[in-house]
Structure 1
Amino acid sequence: MSHIFGILDKVIWAIEDIVSAVSLAAIVSIAFANVIARYFLHSGFLWADEVSQALLIIMGMFGCARAVRKNGHTQFDLLERKIKDKRLHMVVHSIIMLITLAFLLLLVAVTFQYTVKGTMLSTVLKIPRMYYYVSIPIGFLLCIYEYIRSIGAKHADDSVETKDL
């Protein structure tokens, strides 16, 4: 069973990395092409801003999940650092993670409702904006997955350390 979760984890990791990298490359390429077109043709691509905005949302949300995986988010760990007892430290860390997960679940619910209501069409491409916004709840779900994965890894490490004492 853990083999299946290992494969799933690698697939999710690859998806986060690939989507983030491809989105960034596309944003840079579109912006560069638009600048060149404006300079030489004296007219840019009308669709460039809309596509870049959609890609920026995608990159931000998948990059957010990737940052959770890499422990790249800012943490307020003053309280945790003050606690010397390993077991109490684990409890405080777990409470903080549960609060974070509850907040992420709230964000998933709110952004899902926002996405479903996004029936307004984009200005130039005439695409429903919900397709732009669908990556927001997906990104928060990926963050939840990554936090749960990190909680499991942290508690496994902490329990090994506790057994060694």
Structure 2
Amino acid sequence: MNLQRFDAFLGKLLRGISIACFIALFFLLFINVIARTFQLAGFAWFDEIVQGLFAWMVFSGAAALWREREHFAVDWLEVTLGQSQYAIMLRGLISLLCLCFLLAMTVYGYDLFLRSRALTPILQLPTSLFYSVIPLSGLVMVLYTLRDINVAFTDLLSHKRK
């Protein structure tokens, strides 16, 4: 499998996880509202599942958006600078700052994952299952940030040759 096919697969996987979690959350919340409204039943395990689904939806969604550069960004200065070498340097600097944050998130997320020994009270699921998405999505975002740094560096070199 070549790198482009893996990249496309990873993008579909990340989006698929986020969408599946969102759909599951929607149905769980809908069922819970109906059950509470008509006093049919209470779901003691509900909060545990919602917490896990929400974590997976948010972090895999963030990685999917990061991969495709569709996340929110304030790019006024970059747009103002146009295609100049300063705009390219700014993109590189921003990517380096993002890399620092993402490395910290990934390392501390991995530490949290390793130290989680607790089980959820009702379903007895390991909380590390919920926390595992933090270093996984962090690693994906780190790799795509390295791509962005490489692109900025390559663009800067080709801009200086002109």
Q: TM-score per shorter chain, which class?
A: 0.7 to 0.9
What residue is the counterpart of 2:44 in the other structure? 46
Cα RMSD, aligned residues only: 2.7
Cα offsets for 1:98-121 (capped at 9, x unmatched): 121121011100111011111112
What residue is the counterpart of 1:141 in the other structure? 139
Alignment of 1:148-159 (within 5 A): 148-152=146-150, 158=155
Alignment of 1:96-135 (within 5 A): 96-135=94-133
What residue is the counterpart of 1:59 in the other structure? 57
Alignment of 1:68-87 (within 5 A): 68-83=66-81, 86-87=84-85
Contact kept in structure 2, 1:58 and 1:135, CA below 8 Å: yes
Give the C-alpha shift of residue 44 in structure 1.
1.9
Provide the TM-score with structure 1 as the length reference: 0.83
Cα offsets for 1:96-151 (capped at 9, x unmatched): 20121121011100111011111112122122211111111111112223323444
- SS of alignment partner, residue 9 of structure 1: helix
Contact kept in structure 2, 1:97 and 1:147, CA below 8 Å: yes
> Which range is displaced more, 68-77 or 135-144?
68-77
Q: Which runs of 5+ in 1 are unaligned?
A: none
Distance of 1:85 and 1:130 partners within structure 2? 45
Provide the TM-score with structure 2 as the length reference: 0.84
Contact kept in structure 2, 1:69 and 1:150, CA below 8 Å: no
Distance of 1:152 and 1:94 partners within structure 2? 8
- SS of alignment partner, residue 41 of structure 2: coil
Contact kept in structure 2, 1:108 and 1:137, CA below 8 Å: yes
Change (3 A) 1:7 1:163: farther
Contact kept in structure 2, 1:122 and 1:128, CA below 8 Å: yes
Contact kept in structure 2, 1:121 and 1:128, CA below 8 Å: yes
Give the C-alpha shift of residue 5 in structure 1.
0.8
2:31 counterpart of 1:33: yes
Aligned residues: 162
Distance of 1:136 and 1:119 partners within structure 2? 16
